[in-house]
Structure formats: structure tokens, C-alpha cells
Amino acid sequence: EIPRYTRVVNPTVLDFIPEEEEKTNLSMKMVVSSAKDKLGSLFNLICSLKSQSAIIFCNHRDAAERISDTLNEKGIYSVYYHGGMDQDERERALIQ
């Protein structure tokens, strides 16, 4: 409900939440590993996905870049995306 003091007349309501939950082909996987074997565990997980696409979330920008570089060195194509990139770089990463 919109408060009266806003003086909004005939508001338009936008509802992007469907009444029925849509089926999706997204899934989430989590692997617990020791600090020294995180990259190895990640590599094994990605290999188990075969040719499926994946998004890897990192806590730090440098970790995103380092993981992407490591995966590319091991023959798994990847790009990183983070807020420290210029807009042009982010757009190029998205279309790859």
C-alpha cells in the first residue's frame, strides 16, 4: 500500500514474481575442501559437469581473475566479471 502523503494517484503495479514457480534448469553445487586444495576441487567439479556452463562466485576480484586464468591454462575456457572492470570490459565478458 502506498502512503497518502506521496499523493500518488492511480499507481501502476508491476509484479515480476510469477504466481506459480517456473521450472528452471539451474542447479547449485557446493564442495567443501581444504584451503590448499580449493582450485583442484573446483577443477574436478567443473570436469564432472562435462560441457555444461557454470558460474563461479568469488569473494575477491583478484580471486576471480586468478581462477579464470588457472582454468584457461588447464584448457577450460572461462572469463571473469567483476565491478573493478571498465564497462566496456564487462560487456565484452558477457557476450563471450
Higher-confidence residue of 43 and 4: namely 43
Reported as a single tens digit per residue, the pLDDT across 33-52 is 898 999 999 999 999 988 88
> What distance in Å separates the CA atoms of residue 71 and residue 43, rounded to the nearest whole number?
7
Which residue do the cell numbers 515480476 mark? 16
Is the separation of the CB atoms in 59 and 83 below 8 Å?
Answer: no
Please state, rounded to an integer, the average pLDDT across all residues of the chain.
88
Question: How far is residue 41 CA from its own chain's centroid?
Answer: 18
Nearest to 32 by CA among 16, 23, 45, 48: 45
Q: Amino acid letter at 35?
A: A
Structural domain boundaries in the chain: 55-96
Which three-class secondary structure state does DSSP give residue 82? coil
